[in-house]
Homo-oligomer: A and B are copies of this chain.
Amino acid sequence: MKKKISDPKQRLLDTATDLFYNQGYHATGINQVIQEAGVARASLYLHYESKETLLLAFLQQRHTDWMAGLKRFTDTAAKPKEKIQAAFDFLSDNNEKEHFRGCAFLNILSETTDRDAEVLTVIQDHKKDLRAFLGDILHKEKQAVKDHVYLLFESAIVESQLYRNQWPVQEAKKMAAGLL
């Protein structure tokens, strides 16, 4: 039987998600995580080997959720071009909901060195999946077009975070439409 709201493990993950995403990995202390999750300190280490393990769990869940959200948007359209447009709408939607905090993966990437091999891999895998996802929608297009759309998509995320503004998403959306 499931717990009423969520079990400690999930509560830890949800809190870490919030904090790692919104204030950064290194800027977030274990103390804050357990406090906001409402669990004992040792309980964290019962479910997650280390802070980094928690980070990985966050990234993995985020990957699943984010890709699902993206798919929900692209599924509403039929043609490739419209699906791509819907993908940009997903970004707009995210920006609103998450106050322009940008891409969780690219943000963590900034705090990651080559020594954190595992983290780096998860981040790269996420982006490869995204790239493949967009590529599949555009399976009739040439590789150059696929890449072009992907790069505009990435810019849209990063630049709207930078300026705290939707214009990069809207502009990139138009540019992508022009390519198709």
Q: Tell me the A residues contacting B by CB distance below 8 Å.
A: 22-27, 99, 102, 106-111, 113-114, 123-124, 127, 144, 147-148, 151-152, 154-156, 158-159, 161-164, 168, 171-172, 174-175
Contacts and interface: CB of A to CB of B under 8 A. Distances in A.
10 contacts: A24-B111, A24-B113, A26-B27, A106-B162, A108-B110, A111-B111, A127-B163, A147-B175, A148-B171, A154-B159
A144 B110 CA distance: 29
Contact of A24 (B23, B26, B154): B26
A174 B142 CA distance: 14
Of all A-B residue pairs in the complex, the 5 with the closest CB atoms, nearest first, are A26-B26, A110-B110, A151-B155, A107-B110, A155-B155
Contact of A111 (B26, B147, B161, B172): B26
Given A111-B26, A152-B152, A106 B147 contact: no
A99 B171 CA distance: 31
A24 B108 CA distance: 10
A124 B163 contact: yes
A151 B172 contact: yes
A80 B108 CA distance: 36
Contacts of A159: 127, 151, 154
Contact of A127 (B108, B123, B162, B172): B162
A34 to B, nearest CB: 13
B162 A148 contact: no
A110 B22 CA distance: 9
